[in-house]
Structure 1
Amino acid sequence: MSYQGNWQERAACRGEDPELFFPVSEMGPGARQVAQAKAVCARCPVRAECLQYALDTGLDHGIFGGTTDAERRKLVRRTRAEAA
């Protein structure tokens, strides 16, 4: 997939503190941070492109396309299982 066309320039997270999208944990205060980051993603016009970018490049930390790294790993496993 090509990432040209500067989809990142249309991302809802532009202008947000990048730290918001890299919680230390998904529990306790981190859960609130994950929810806040996902709320930004929920209103993003390029959420699908962001998720595909994270999947294609193997990003394994942070919130991308409205998913956590654990959710992306689960999605990859499910996709591979369905393809098998």
Structure 2
Amino acid sequence: MNQDILFSDIQSWDAVRQAVNFPAQQGGALIICWVTLDWLQQHSGKSLSTSDEIIATFIEYRFDIEDIAEAMIDNEDFNDNGDIVISE
């Protein structure tokens, strides 16, 4: 694990984007990270319909998601807004 990248225990569901938002910090800079509902459903094998189910599944897969986000940050795989988006 890269000690330069820190993740908090904060996450929120964004129904418009159909993704969970979770922040990372690298060198004092805030990086907005997202994991899509499609990714969560595909990796969990569940059909997720409520925000509570979605957040619970995110928490269940948090370490895997953070590992992917960390690798994407290291590789500078940012989108046009400077965010990291984990999707299928």
TM-score category of the 2 structures, normalised to the smaller one? under 0.3
Q: Which has the higher strand share?
A: 2
Q: Which has the higher helix share?
A: 1
**Structure number with bigger Rg:** 1
